[in-house]
Structure 1
Amino acid sequence: MEALVNEWLWQEKYWLPPGIRWQDIEMKEDEGHFPLPRDLIYTFPLAFAFIALRYVFERLIAVPLSRFLGVKDRIRIRAPSIPKLEAFYKQNSRQPSQSEVVSLGKQCGLSQRKIQAWFRHRRNQDRPSNTKKFSEASWRFVFYLSAFIGGLSSLINMPWFWDHRECWRGYPKQPVADAHYWYYILEMSFYLSLLLCVSVDVKRKDFKEQVIHHIATIFLIGFSYCANYVRVGTLVMLLHDSSDVVLEIGKMLHYAVWTKTCEVLFVVFALVFLVTRLVVFPGRVVHTTLVLSMEFFQPFFGYYFFNALLLVLQALHIFWAYTILRMVYKFVFKGIVEGDERSDEESEVDANEEDDKPEEEGGDWSREQSNGTINSKRASLANNCVLNNLTNRRNVNSRMPKAR
């Protein structure tokens, strides 16, 4: 099996420039560490360690922090227990078609309107709370902030951080420092953990784009490490972490309804994202991999594959930049900052949904209960008016003798 893998997967034409063999890039212990594919095996146990750490962090730190910052969850109406509808909801579809609504209505003896209202309430029960969304954002914020600080401190004194031609000088025989090795391993482990948890995390409108982004990022990190594109790879990860830090802290404060601070952070995030993803990334990183690298070696399979992954990321950047510019337009010309354009698919409650009140003991909705509630509110309002009038008269009578 190992011989088969070495024969087909680790062919030199895939991983090394023309004219270079595996023997040419072997290093002695005193020369440094050369990245090897087996190093990436550690990312799998670390990904599960990240998941466990996230579970502890969200419950011991994120949830208390959300309460401290004033994050409030919406009180949602629970749908009554109707076994046939519940079975259809879990086994077939969360949004039945018109013909399915008619069929379910005949089976349960309910009108179409009540069937549709039941499904709206049931979907609403499964929507993530603000506390859950805050916890996810705070976990990502802590990692991105730590990764950005660690990555910047390890790269700021490196020559390729300032001169991108240094990314290719001496390639592919370039030793990897321990700090950059751990930077790679931890980043790849984190994105693996995100991909493993994507089915239980808050599902957003750009769910498919997020999955593509995670897969492309994992392939990009893994391939760039095996092909020793570590110098360029560290720059790519640092650029992404810089804007993600601002994005996640902005989400946290959005769920805490810190409106003014969110508006400031939104402007900062838009500027950082547009500059790093639409200017620096294509103008410096993609340019150095496509153009400058050819000054040091001839193109090979790894050259094309690595650049293809970078272009996939750039296409996603353009998609998200369009979303951000829409929000900028609304903010500048309408003076409002709406919720996250990538928010969960059904984060907003329908206006009609709050009008339908489920009855506690049966599957029908009682209008008498809502009418009784309205009448009780009217009675209390009338009583308050009477009490206010009596209080005002007493105050006037009490002041009359003093005035005389």
Structure 2
Amino acid sequence: MGLLTGDYIDWQLDPVMVFMWTCAWAVAHVVMYRLVIMPLADRCFVAPTALHQATAIAANSAKEVNKQDGKDARLKQRKNTAKQADSDPIQSTDDQTKHAAAVKTMASMKKKFAKAAWKCFVYSVSTLIGLYVLFSDTWWMHPALWMLDYPDPTSVEMKLYYMIGFGNYMYQTLSLRTSETDFAAMVVHHSSTIAVITASYIFGFTRVGIIILLLHDCSDPIMEYAKCSLYLKKQQRADSFFTLFAVVFIVTRNILFPYVIRCAHVHSILEDGTRMPRGSEFWGNFCLGCLWVLAALNFYWGFLIVKIAVKTAITGEVEGDIREQDDD
């Protein structure tokens, strides 16, 4: 790993890099959506159309006609079909209503599938990069080393992971929709995460920052894949991956994350009793405060996930991620 030590910050280039990575995620979203996700959704979700219905009706009529001999029989059947359609307008209206509802439902499923598939891709990429950066060294196994030689020794790979994380959360925040039922919670979560990333980067807490980034990424691709399976009506697969997600979420965000905060509290105290960074204790406490805000949100979502798990155990079927329900 290329070590940059405490000179990793470039006050002119780094903001440009954050902007570029935000744009890169936006471009990747458009490209993936048009070239991969929507073609896949179109193959998986075939909406009922009037053309399909007309073709089916015509085929059935042709079969009946072929069973009878002579032009008179075919003409008689056409007249009877037309007469039946004219005499039963209510049935025709009901069919149209059902068809319209089916088309709307299918379009909604495609939209949700596309959103979940994109997030599954994003979090998978971010998680793999984070795992590579973390496991490229051994300092993460010893909490006492997280703050040693402050400001934290920072490598090229660590800085790259920071830039990718900056851009990802910036794009996610800009992409939030007010129609989402958890809009306020997600704004608080993303704002706190960006604040933590920014402060930890500027004030040299990069080792703890990378651990926090990874802990908040690694459970989400599992959830998004479970949601994709649910929309595809692969219920057994959705149940299995939701169970896996619940376990990973509880372990990483409700157990390991508070442990990381505790270690940050303990190991950020200097010999004279003041908190790092020396002379700017406010920013050290600010970072810790943001971490506790994230922890509170994680415990709230953990409660909701346990609630879903209990409901799943009772009904036998998972209904989706309660953290993220769109008002369609």
Does the pair score TM above 0.5? Answer: yes
> In structure 1, what is the Cα distance between the partners aligned to 2:261 and 2:310?
29
The answer as to 2:170 corresponding to 1:192 is yes
Structure 1 188/72 Cα, relative in aligned 2: closer, same or farther at 3 Å?
farther
Residue correspondence of structure 1 range 20-99 to structure 2 within 5 A: 33-38=7-12, 39-68=14-43, 70-71=44-45
Aligned to 1:252: 228
Q: Work out the CA distance in 1 between the residues paired with 2:254 and 2:167.
A: 26
Residue 114 of structure 2 corresponds to: 135
Give the residue type in structure 1 aligned to 2:212.
V
Give 1:401's aligned residue.
none
Question: What is the alpha-carbon distance in structure 2 between the residues aligned to residue 232 and residue 319 of structure 1?
Answer: 23
Q: Which of 304, 307, 317 is matched with 1:336 structurally?
A: 317
Are the aligned partners of 1:144 and 1:241 in contact in 2 as well (CA < 8 Å)?
A: yes
Aligned counterpart, 2:88: none
1:221 has 2:197 as partner: yes
Give matches, 1:287-326, under 5 Å.
Answer: 287-294=262-269, 298-299=274-275, 300-326=281-307
Deviation for aligned residue 1:73: 6.0
1:178 aligns with 2:178: no
CA contact (8 A) 2:134 2:140 kept: yes
User: Following the alignment from structure 1 to structure 2, what is the Cα–Cα distance between the partners of residues 30 and 345?
Assistant: 43
Q: CA deviation at 1:247?
A: 1.2
**Is the 1:32–1:177 Cα contact (8 Å) retained in structure 2?**
no
Shift of 1:282: 0.3
Aligned-partner Cα distance in 1 for 2:236–2:170 = 35
Tell me which amino acid in the other structure corresponds to 1:159.
T
- Bigger proportion of residues as helix: 2
Amino acid across the alignment from 2:30:
Y
Task: Deviation per CA, 1:65-95: give whole Å up to 9, x if none.
Answer: 2234x245699xxxxxxxxxxxxxxxxxxxx
Give the alignment partner of residue 266 of structure 1, picking from 221, 242, 252: 242
Decide whether the 8 Å contact of 1:168 with 1:293 is kept in 2.
yes
Contact 2:258/2:295 (CA < 8 Å) preserved in 1? yes
Residue 158 of structure 1 aligns with which residue? Answer: 137
Q: How many residues align?
A: 267
Q: 1:234 aligns with which of 199, 204, 210?
A: 210
Q: Whole-Å Cα distance in 2 between the matches of residues 218 and 298 of structure 1? A: 25
Please identify, of 138-147 and 258-267, the stretch whose mean Cα deviation from structure 2 is larger: 138-147
What root-mean-square deviation, in Å, do the aligned CA atoms of Structure 1 and Structure 2 show? 2.6
Distance 1:177 1:194, change over 3 A: same
Which amino acid is the alignment partner of residue 40 of structure 1? P
Query: Could you tell me how far apart the structure 2 residues matched to 1:208 and 1:306 are?
Result: 21
Give the match's secondary structure for 1:294: coil
1:280 pairs with 2:256: yes
Judge conservation of contact 2:45–2:106 (CA < 8 Å) in 1. no
Distance 2:45 2:216 in 1: 27
Code of the aligned partner of 1:154: V
Contact 2:4 2:155 in 1 (8 A): no
The 5-angstrom pairing of residues 388-403 of structure 1 reads: none
The offset of 1:237, in angstroms, is 0.7
Residue 183 of structure 2 corresponds to 207
- For 2:180 and 2:5, locate their aligned partners in 1 and report how far apart those are by CA, in whole Å: 47
- Mapped to 1, the partners of 2:320 and 2:48 lie a distance apart of 15
Whichever residue aligns with residue 51 of structure 1, its letter is A
SS of equivalent to 1:139: helix
Hey, what does 1:399 align to over in structure 2?
none
Per the TM alignment, residue 318 of structure 1 is displaced from its structure 2 partner at its CA by 1.1
Q: Distance in 2 between matches of 1:314 and 1:334?
A: 30
TM-score with structure 1 length normalisation? 0.61
Partners of 1:333 and 1:155 in 2: CA distance: 39
Given residue 58 of structure 1, which amino acid in structure 2 is its aligned partner?
A: Y
Amino acid at match of 2:143: H
Instruction: Give distance in 2, aligned partners of 1:229 and 1:343.
Output: 31
Cα deviation for residue 61 of structure 1 reads 0.4
